[in-house]
Chain A
Amino acid sequence: MRGVPFILCLIAAAAVIFACGRWINNSYAFFAAYVVVQYIVLGTAWNILGGYTGYVNFGVTAFFAIGAYSTVVLYKLVPALPLPVMVLIGGVMAGLVGLGTGYLTLRLRGVFFSIATLALAVVVQTLITNWDFVGGARGAYVLRPRVAPLIGGEYVQYLFLVMLGLCVIVLATARAIERSALGYGFTAIRDDEAAAEASGVPTLKLKLIATTLSGGFMGMAGAPLPYYVTYLDPASGFSLNYAVNAIAMPLIGGMNSWVGPIVGAVLVGGLQEYLRVTISSAVNVLVVGVLLVVFVIAAPQGIVGLFQRKK
């Protein structure tokens, strides 16, 4: 399928999902679905750098929280700003941090790059914790409007709609990358960086594009979070769960295709939500851990890899 029909299909799928939600008309369904869609966005964003380009980023929370906290700042300065604009600004902030991080760390390879991104998460968390304007360690309250703009109904429906729209954009971008020269360049870097250079691939430039896109989309995924939780403190904004899930979901779903993070997020995210309700909210981390071990051993190419044509 070509680009435009594919985007139309994505939009249609998103519209059907949203219409189903309205029909069910249960606010818990929206809260749960928001989390799953948020993880599709986060997983796909991680996959642009981690799956396509082969640079494992452990600092997911840094980018995610930069998006979230930029919304807190905007909420305090210009509360009337529409949420999609906040999402955009959060994405730009996180994207810039991605570009800067990439520039400083991409001369490191493999595990050293991963450690540097881990350090980034700690640095950003320390900065936020000590920044009084956004609530510091106490956290910040963000009051959510009672009624959703444009569509009416509960505000969480609007949050879900924004996240769904973001999901369409991110998936369309990921798929476009896969089929473009950029995607081939990313794969070449992942497979062999020196050979990629010798084949004319400008590796540093491509890696910077990957970190910027990846970081920016993670920031966008985090931007609506303050409105979703209504109280944001560093412990929840920088929760390890985001990083673990963003890495585990593409890994479980399959890292070579845009479908992978969707499969992973729906499966793992859905299972977590189910267990959160039926057993306890602490058990979901265990689930990710067990699934991760199982998949790394049994299906290293992820679920999508199991179905792909054996070459």
Chain B
Amino acid sequence: MTAMLHVEGLGKRFGGFVALDSIELEVQDGERLGLIGPNGSGKSTLVNCICGTLQNETGSVRFAGQALDGLSAHERTRRGLARSFQLPRPFGSLSLMDNLRIPILYTVNARGGGKAIGNEAIVARCRDLLGEVGLAAKADRLPRDLTQIEMRKLELARAMAAEPKLLIADEVMAGLSHNEVDEIIALLIRLNDQGVTVIMIEHIMRAVMEVSQRLAVLVAGRKIADGAPKDVVRDPEVVKAYLGE
């Protein structure tokens, strides 16, 4: 297996606050990585730096063998890096269908190679994706008609619509019921079986343990553990970070 994502010495500061301090992270092609850490530990900042929403000050991000540094977020999405936002950010004036249409038009069709999909195929694809996250019945509704939980599902569907090689799911399960968590777990594993590498940021440990093949832990902007999930959760430093001494 080759490294799909290679983060090297990545650092990010906000003023005097060090949000991320020389993070090293490698994700193999086809792997499912769980990323955990207490609130404010820099998980979302790391995602933002990997996806280009924020630009890191030091270090570099390599994806599928290419350096991403300096590339804007949309160029990274086109190269196959898709993410969902922790706080859902739907396109408020567009129907759910059209919310998914945007990444298809601008990512799948823009990658092209002369194989742009036509309108009917786009509609069918949007319906499939909405069906996968259980929103098919609301395809023509606006995001404001959705519950918070449904919005998270929409976030995930929109990231999937970009047909990524690497999907970063930023707390898509927060607030979901037991059954719904199971649904999303099944969905992520199904995607992974189709060849999509998955990074999952999550607080729900049941889901983390079920999905992750490997687990990395961030605390206060540093990576303190990385390895097999069972070993990591027993790591004394990780336990200390979560529970105190």
User: From B142, which residue of chain A is reached at the shortest CB distance?
Assistant: A311
> Using an 8 Å CB-CB cutoff, how does the interface string of B85-124 with A read, 1 for contact, 0 for none?
1000111111100100111011101100000000000000
Chain A nearest CB, measured from B164 CB (Å): 10
| Contact assessment for B83 and A198 in the assembled complex, using a CB-CB cutoff below 8 Å | yes
Bound complex: CA of A204 vs CA of B74, how far in Å?
10
| Contact assessment for A188 and B51 in the assembled complex, using a CB-CB cutoff below 8 Å | no
| Contact assessment for B85 and A200 in the assembled complex, using a CB-CB cutoff below 8 Å | no
The residues in A between 177 and 216 inclusive whose CB is less than 8 angstroms from any CB of B are 181, 184-185, 187-188, 190-192, 194-204
B85 contact set on A, CB distance < 8 A = 194-195, 198
User: From B51, which residue of chain A is reached at the shortest CB distance?
Assistant: A198
| Contact assessment for A194 and B89 in the assembled complex, using a CB-CB cutoff below 8 Å | yes
B159 contact set on A, CB distance < 8 A = 198
> Using an 8 Å CB-CB cutoff, how does the interface string of B50-68 with A read, 1 for contact, 0 for none?
0111000000000000000
Q: Residue A284 at the B interface, CB < 8 A?
A: no
| Contact assessment for A187 and B83 in the assembled complex, using a CB-CB cutoff below 8 Å | no
Contact partner of A311 (CB less than 8 A), chosen from B75, B82, B83, B140, is B140
A184 contact set on B, CB distance < 8 A = 94, 98, 101-102, 105
Interface majority SS (helix, strand, loop, mixed), chain A? helix
A201 contact set on B, CB distance < 8 A = 74, 102, 106
Contact partner of B82 (CB less than 8 A), chosen from A181, A191, A198, is A198
The total of chain A residues at the interface (CB under 8 A) is: 21
Bound complex: CA of A200 vs CA of B82, how far in Å?
9
| Contact assessment for A200 and B91 in the assembled complex, using a CB-CB cutoff below 8 Å | no
| Contact assessment for A199 and B93 in the assembled complex, using a CB-CB cutoff below 8 Å | no
Q: Residue A71 at the B interface, CB < 8 A?
A: no
| Contact assessment for B105 and A181 in the assembled complex, using a CB-CB cutoff below 8 Å | yes
- Please judge, given known A-B contacts A191-B94, A195-B90, A256-B93, whether A200 and B77 are in contact too, CB under 8 Å: yes
Chain A nearest CB, measured from B216 CB (Å): 22
Bound complex: CA of A197 vs CA of B83, how far in Å?
11
| Contact assessment for B101 and A192 in the assembled complex, using a CB-CB cutoff below 8 Å | no
B105 contact set on A, CB distance < 8 A = 181, 184-185
| Contact assessment for B73 and A197 in the assembled complex, using a CB-CB cutoff below 8 Å | yes
Contact partner of A185 (CB less than 8 A), chosen from B75, B93, B102, B142, is B102
User: From A203, which residue of chain B is reached at the shortest CB distance?
Assistant: B74
| Contact assessment for B53 and A188 in the assembled complex, using a CB-CB cutoff below 8 Å | no
Contact partner of B77 (CB less than 8 A), chosen from A181, A190, A192, A199, is A199
B98 contact set on A, CB distance < 8 A = 184, 187
User: From A199, which residue of chain B is reached at the shortest CB distance?
Assistant: B103
| Contact assessment for B94 and A199 in the assembled complex, using a CB-CB cutoff below 8 Å | no
B198 contact set on A, CB distance < 8 A = none
| Contact assessment for A198 and B53 in the assembled complex, using a CB-CB cutoff below 8 Å | yes
| Contact assessment for A195 and B89 in the assembled complex, using a CB-CB cutoff below 8 Å | yes
User: From B72, which residue of chain A is reached at the shortest CB distance?
Assistant: A197
| Contact assessment for B72 and A190 in the assembled complex, using a CB-CB cutoff below 8 Å | no
User: From A181, which residue of chain B is reached at the shortest CB distance?
Assistant: B105
Q: Residue B152 at the A interface, CB < 8 A?
A: no
> Using an 8 Å CB-CB cutoff, how does the interface string of A262-282 with B read, 1 for contact, 0 for none?
000000000000000000000
| Contact assessment for A202 and B74 in the assembled complex, using a CB-CB cutoff below 8 Å | yes
Bound complex: CA of A46 vs CA of B53, how far in Å?
29
Most B CB contacts (10 A, CB to CB) among A191, A195, A199, A201 go to A199
User: From A182, which residue of chain B is reached at the shortest CB distance?
Assistant: B105
A190 contact set on B, CB distance < 8 A = 93
Bound complex: CA of A210 vs CA of B77, how far in Å?
22
| Contact assessment for A199 and B140 in the assembled complex, using a CB-CB cutoff below 8 Å | no
Q: Residue B78 at the A interface, CB < 8 A?
A: yes
- Please judge, given known A-B contacts A200-B103, A200-B110, whether A188 and B95 are in contact too, CB under 8 Å: no
Excluding A197-B72, A199-B103, A201-B106, 20 further A-B contacts by CB distance (< 8 Å) are: A184-B94, A184-B102, A185-B105, A188-B91, A188-B94, A191-B94, A195-B90, A195-B91, A197-B77, A198-B51, A198-B74, A199-B77, A199-B162, A200-B102, A200-B103, A200-B107, A201-B74, A256-B93, A311-B140, A311-B142
A–B Cβ pairs within 8 angstroms, 8 of them? A191-B94, A194-B53, A195-B85, A196-B74, A197-B72, A198-B74, A199-B106, A311-B142
The 6 closest A-B pairs by CB, nearest first: A200-B107, A197-B73, A200-B106, A191-B91, A199-B103, A195-B89
